[in-house]
Chain A
């Protein structure tokens, strides 16, 4: 039928793995409630399959052969690769949507040279979102990746084009497709600076994102992003692709910089599909 939902959410491993360490319990629960609302919104849209645009962290792709973009067309996926106790998510076998994924990949390829993969191991970048959005693991998943980790990274304007291509592809299939972009805004994960958040930078980015202002979103250089938002800020690519796919204005349902133990400004938002 078409794209029926597009949104964004954070995926940091601390969101599940360090939940027990949080001192600001009220804020944590507010965040989890926003994620539960997102789950309900995706379900209420009658979603047949969920595309997760991720910024994977070396669970599949490495500098021996790094795709700028990749779409999963496997039957099933495994994840998380991380120690289950560390991430507080048990290892799962997750259903894919190979037939829909193949049709989507074919359509995307008309304008963007995407790789595809029939094997895909999920890391926290997908496993944390799925933990909240499909806790019973009964929703078919189409994993999608944008290279946000191994420079040279996918240029922002190509991420926008990729988002638009995904939209065209979703609109070309009879099934109802939901899509989420998952990443961080400013953050310095997996370094001693973990927990550092540039809230003014985040809020400025989110303002551009909610206005779905293409020119303003594509104006960032990687040098600026690295300086102001850390290497984790490179993951804005997934949010930008989700905005491009939706084309409508955003609704920021939740943002806080008050859970630094999660090492990211925690975010939940959705876009109008226009």
Chain B
């Protein structure tokens, strides 16, 4: 059930300005409030989008978190692709990569 707690942390961060303030002021203290594995804590401490994606964080939760971190759109997509290369396929949930890492927009291909 750890993925549940990981996603709950991000859910509460995404929607709560108080949680966002605490994230900026005392991330270790905030993480301590959740039942997270060492791997999950490390991913959150590093803002590791690729690993969080592979761990199975719902894409809608992850996308909002990436926006909160100020990550540009195409960088966000690449971070997920790099996560797959480094850690393997998405382990849980319904946001698996199905396109083999391809880009589906001219805007990204033409960058």
Give the B-binding residues of A (Cβ under 8 A): 13-14, 17-18, 21-23, 57-60, 62-64, 81-83, 86-87, 121, 123, 149-151, 188-197, 226, 230-231, 260-261
Asked if A57 and B60 make an inter-chain contact with CB atoms under 8 angstroms apart, the answer reads yes
Whether A190 contacts B104 in the complex (CB less than 8 A), given A82-B67, A151-B94, comes out as: no
When chains A and B are docked, how far (Å) is the Cα of A149 from the Cα of B105?
25
Task: Give chain B residues whose Cβ lies under 8 Å from the Cβ of A188.
Answer: 98-99
Whether the pair A81, B81 counts as a contact (CB closer than 8 A) is no
How far does the alpha carbon of A149 sit from the alpha carbon of B60 in the complex, in Å?
9
Majority SS of interface residues in chain A?
Answer: loop
Min CB distance B71 to A, Å, is 9
Assess the A195–B104 pair: CB atoms within 8 A.
yes
Which residues of chain B come closer than 8 Å to A195, judged between CB atoms? Answer: 103-105, 108
- Docked Cα-Cα span, A65 to B58, in Å, equals 17
- Pairs across A and B, CB under 8 Å, 17 listed: A21-B73, A57-B61, A57-B64, A58-B61, A86-B67, A188-B98, A189-B60, A189-B63, A191-B80, A191-B96, A192-B80, A192-B101, A193-B104, A194-B104, A195-B105, A196-B99, A261-B106
Closest CB-CB distance, A130 to chain B, in whole Å? 18
Q: Which residues of B contact A190 (CB under 8 A)?
A: 59-60, 62-63, 95
Task: Closest A residue to B110 by CB, please name it.
Answer: A23
A260/B95 in contact, CB under 8 A = no
Residues on the B chain within 8 Å of A193, using CB: 97-99, 102, 104
Which residues of chain B are within 8 angstroms of A63 by Cβ–Cβ distance? 4, 7-8
Cβ-defined contact, B58 with A149, below 8 A: yes
List the B side residues contacting A23 at CB < 8 Å: 106-107, 110
Contact assessment for B14 and A81 in the assembled complex, using a CB-CB cutoff below 8 Å: yes
B51 interface residue (CB < 8 Å to A): no
Contact residue among A59, A64, A191, A196 (Cβ-Cβ distance under 8 Å from B59): A191
A83 nearest CB across to chain B (Å): 4
C-alpha gap A196/B108 in the complex (Å): 13
